[in-house]
Chains A and B, each alone.
Chain A
Amino acid sequence: MAHVDVEGLTVRYGPATALDRLDLHIAAGEMFVLLGGSGSGKTTLLRALGGFIQPSAGRIVLGGQDITRLPPHRRPVNTTFQSYALFPHMSVADNVGFGLRRQGVPRAEIATRVAALLDLVRLGDFAGRRPDALSGGQRQRVALARALAPRPRLLLLDEPMSALDRSLREQTRQELLRVQRETGTTFVLVTHDQDEALAMATRIGLLHAGRLAQVGTPAEIYEQPASRYVAAFMGAANILPARVVQSGAPAVLELDGIGPAQAAGPAPCAVGGAVHVALRPERLRIAPGAAAGVNSAAGVVSDSAYRGGAVDHQVRLAGGATLLVSRPLSDGIGAEPLPPGSAVVVSWHPDACVLLAD
């Protein structure tokens, strides 16, 4: 039994199914990130955990207690809302103390705990301010302190960084991780940003069409995507159909429009079977030349773009396929993109060729 057990959770809105018999287990103290595009069901799952949506079927067990039918105000679960939802008619301190007053905590203890929480989120000097006198980042931290105040057994964060400037997000990520470490609270964070998920999560649950497409550590999700959908969502731009030429480990494949390649693992089907592989743009090497072989292919640069930290090249291969190759600028070749029309060889390590289930 994990800290949070979601079993067979189904949420229907009329004929539409937002969550479809979803199972999920979250351990105590995790920073679990629910990742998905819009309409994937990630917000629905978060709202169901918070008690704002009654599921059509299934149950939610928190620390051994079935909370499926408990209304929000009786759940030991707190939320930071996407809009923060700070009470505009209360000071920062009164916002943070709101949950403690509901629990009937004595006045003096509320004052101490609120002060400690404001220190935790580095807002000690802002206790008397109104929310409308705070910046976006400060409001986000008040929302966090307010949600942590009642010492929830589970903290839900709905897109906590979506309303912040890009420059503030990295800092806020670190703050959230620090607060999570210091309080030891189990966090479930919803986001649509895969970078955010990779950088913060102990584990990621990738949602697609109301189901979990994959659950795993950031490295697992990134390196071993369970399906073409997961690979594409996690930024693998090159997903190619292939045929199995030789099974066993490692398998040998014939990539459509490219040529022969060794895969990272054993083939999921017999010789002659059709599969898909992902070749991550940043795992491909590109060099001027024309000779091709196994795990490499010759082609011509059709387009290139300077991206700051890397240079992206579109390469049309002799076999007909097009690959996106992202070359980091740290490899000593220089910042100048290869001009369109350059003859190049694209090559890769067998580990970069990841077999995908459909």
Chain B
Amino acid sequence: MGRRLVLLPIWAWLLVSVALPVLIVAALSFSASVPGVPPYTPLGAAPDTANYAALTEDRFYLDAGLKSLAVAGVSSLACLLLGYPMALAIARAGERWRSLLLLGVMLPFWTGFLLRVTAWIGLLRDGGWVDLALTSVGLPAARLLFTDTAMYIGITYAYLPFMILPLYARLSRRDPALEEAAADLGANPWVTFLTVILPQSLPGILAGLALVFIPAVGEYVIPELLGGPGAQTIGRALWNEFFSNRDWPMAATVANALLLALLVPMVLLRARG
């Protein structure tokens, strides 16, 4: 009884902040768009599956969804490749350095997200720092801003800490004796990494990939500010339905589809252990 009482605030919080909004959005997706305030037919009255039909009939949404999955996939792999050596270096650093380096990983959170993404515009634009650095060493000028590359750079930059932290948590608990044992048995440092360190950090890799991939799929701000107009991600599609077209039910339908697309594989993965 006491245990249930302790859990009560958590359930209340989940109900208000997760279950209720999800239900409202779900109900919204079955209503129809009408001019006026609010811009939809009453929730629950005369459920309408037209929005879901539109979702499947129009390739626009499918393409946007696939593009988002690809963007999130490439970005989370980039985060993994960049973040793994960083996490390993932090885990191997001395006691004093470790907290300093971890602070460095978290430091960007002290500045607004939007501000940091905007700062990348200054870095990536024609005549910006990256461009100047490239041309000053004789390389051709890079047209980066408003390209997919800029979008990937932005997402990788923004989500890197979410990769580093779970990886670090895992790698800092590794047993150094195992690495000594591998070396003792003839494994050079690279083989030791592949056969002992990497397999043991697999749970950290999966956690990091999930933490980056899931929010990156729905990311709106970075593709909008850094990406090209052709980069139609699901996040941008959703934003446009909601704010430009004022089609709340369609926006809700896209949001629901996205939620299902992410949730179903996650649940299946968990069920498999």
8 Å CB interface, B149-200 against A? 175, 177-178, 180-188, 191-192, 195-196, 199-200
Does A71 interact with chain B (Cβ within 8 Å)?
Answer: yes
Return 9 A-B CB contacts under 8 Å, by A number.
Answer: A78-B184, A81-B181, A85-B181, A87-B182, A87-B195, A88-B200, A98-B185, A99-B186, A147-B185
Closest to A47 in B: B180
Task: Determine whether the beta carbon of A102 is less than 8 Å from that of B180.
Answer: no
Q: Which residues of B contact A17 (CB under 8 A)?
A: none
Does A50 interact with chain B (Cβ within 8 Å)?
Answer: yes
Residue A146 contacts which of B175, B180, B185, B196 (CB distance < 8 angstroms)? Answer: B185
Task: Determine whether the beta carbon of A71 is less than 8 Å from that of B199.
Answer: no
Task: Determine whether the beta carbon of B184 is less than 8 Å from that of A79.
Answer: yes
Q: Which residues of A contact B181 (CB under 8 A)?
A: 79, 81, 85-87
Does A72 interact with chain B (Cβ within 8 Å)?
Answer: yes
Does A52 interact with chain B (Cβ within 8 Å)?
Answer: yes
Residue B185 contacts which of A51, A71, A78, A83 (CB distance < 8 angstroms)? Answer: A78
Cα distance A343–B188 in the bound complex, in angstroms: 70
Does A181 interact with chain B (Cβ within 8 Å)?
Answer: no
Main secondary structure of the interface of B (DSSP, over half): helix
Q: Which residues of A contact B175 (CB under 8 A)?
A: 83, 85
Cα distance A83–B196 in the bound complex, in angstroms: 16
Task: Determine whether the beta carbon of B186 is less than 8 Å from that of A150.
Answer: yes
Does A167 interact with chain B (Cβ within 8 Å)?
Answer: no
Q: Which residues of B contact A71 (CB under 8 A)?
A: 183
Q: A102-B186, A103-B186, A150-B185 are in contact. Are A89 and B200 (CB under 8 A)?
A: yes
Q: Which residues of B contact A88 (CB under 8 A)?
A: 178, 200
Does A73 interact with chain B (Cβ within 8 Å)?
Answer: yes
Task: Determine whether the beta carbon of A73 is less than 8 Å from that of B188.
Answer: yes
Residue A72 contacts which of B178, B184, B195 (CB distance < 8 angstroms)? Answer: B184
Q: Which residues of A contact B191 (CB under 8 A)?
A: 102
Cα distance A71–B182 in the bound complex, in angstroms: 12
Residue A73 contacts which of B177, B186, B196, B199 (CB distance < 8 angstroms)? Answer: B186
Q: A85-B177, A85-B178 are in contact. Are A72 and B199 (CB under 8 A)?
A: no
Cα distance A86–B200 in the bound complex, in angstroms: 12
Closest to A94 in B: B195
Interface size range on B against A: 10 to 19
Please, what's the 1-or-0 string for A217-259, where 1 marks a CB less than 8 Å from any CB in chain B? 0000000000000000000000000000000000000000000
Closest to B196 in A: A87
Closest to B191 in A: A102
Cα distance A49–B177 in the bound complex, in angstroms: 16
Residue A52 contacts which of B180, B182, B192 (CB distance < 8 angstroms)? Answer: B180
8 Å CB interface, A152-199 against B? none
Closest to B177 in A: A85
Q: Among the interface residues A50, A77, A102, A103, which one has the most CB atoms of the partner chain B within 10 A? A: A102
Q: How many residues of A contact B (CB 8 A)?
A: 25
From residue A214, how far is it (CB to closest CB) to chain B in Å?
Answer: 29
Q: Which 6 A-B pairs have the closest CB atoms?
A: A102-B186, A99-B185, A85-B181, A85-B177, A72-B183, A73-B183
8 Å CB interface, B33-78 against A? none
Please, what's the 1-or-0 string for A246-285, where 1 marks a CB less than 8 Å from any CB in chain B? 0000000000000000000000000000000000000000
Cα distance A150–B186 in the bound complex, in angstroms: 9
Q: A98-B195, A102-B191 are in contact. Are A87 and B178 (CB under 8 A)?
A: yes
Q: Which residues of B contact A89 (CB under 8 A)?
A: 199-200
Residue B182 contacts which of A98, A103, A149, A150 (CB distance < 8 angstroms)? Answer: A98
Task: Determine whether the beta carbon of A73 is less than 8 Å from that of B187.
Answer: yes
From residue A278, how far is it (CB to closest CB) to chain B in Å?
Answer: 39
Q: Among the interface residues B175, B181, B183, B187, which one has the most CB atoms of the partner chain A within 10 A? A: B181
Q: A98-B195, A102-B191 are in contact. Are A85 and B180 (CB under 8 A)?
A: yes
Closest to A102 in B: B186
Q: Which residues of A contact B195 (CB under 8 A)?
A: 87, 98
Cα distance A78–B186 in the bound complex, in angstroms: 9
Q: Which residues of B contact A83 (CB under 8 A)?
A: 175, 177
From residue A37, how far is it (CB to closest CB) to chain B in Å?
Answer: 22
Closest to A78 in B: B184
Q: Which residues of B contact A52 (CB under 8 A)?
A: 180, 183
Please, what's the 1-or-0 string for B100-128, where 1 marks a CB less than 8 Å from any CB in chain A? 00000000000000000000000000000
From residue A136, how far is it (CB to closest CB) to chain B in Å?
Answer: 16
Q: Among the interface residues B178, B186, B192, which one has the most CB atoms of the partner chain A within 10 A? A: B186
From residue B197, how far is it (CB to closest CB) to chain A in Å?
Answer: 11
From residue A192, how far is it (CB to closest CB) to chain B in Å?
Answer: 19
Closest to A99 in B: B185
Closest to B180 in A: A52
Q: Which residues of A contact B186 (CB under 8 A)?
A: 73-74, 99, 102-103, 150
Closest to B186 in A: A102
From residue A62, how far is it (CB to closest CB) to chain B in Å?
Answer: 14
Cα distance A89–B178 in the bound complex, in angstroms: 11
Q: Which residues of B contact A78 (CB under 8 A)?
A: 184-185
Q: Which residues of B contact A72 (CB under 8 A)?
A: 180, 183-184
From residue B185, how far is it (CB to closest CB) to chain A in Å?
Answer: 4
Cα distance A102–B199 in the bound complex, in angstroms: 17
From residue B202, how far is it (CB to closest CB) to chain A in Å?
Answer: 8
Task: Determine whether the beta carbon of B178 is less than 8 Å from that of A73.
Answer: no
Q: Which residues of B contact A146 (CB under 8 A)?
A: 185
8 Å CB interface, A69-122 against B? 71-74, 77-79, 81, 83, 85-89, 98-99, 102-103
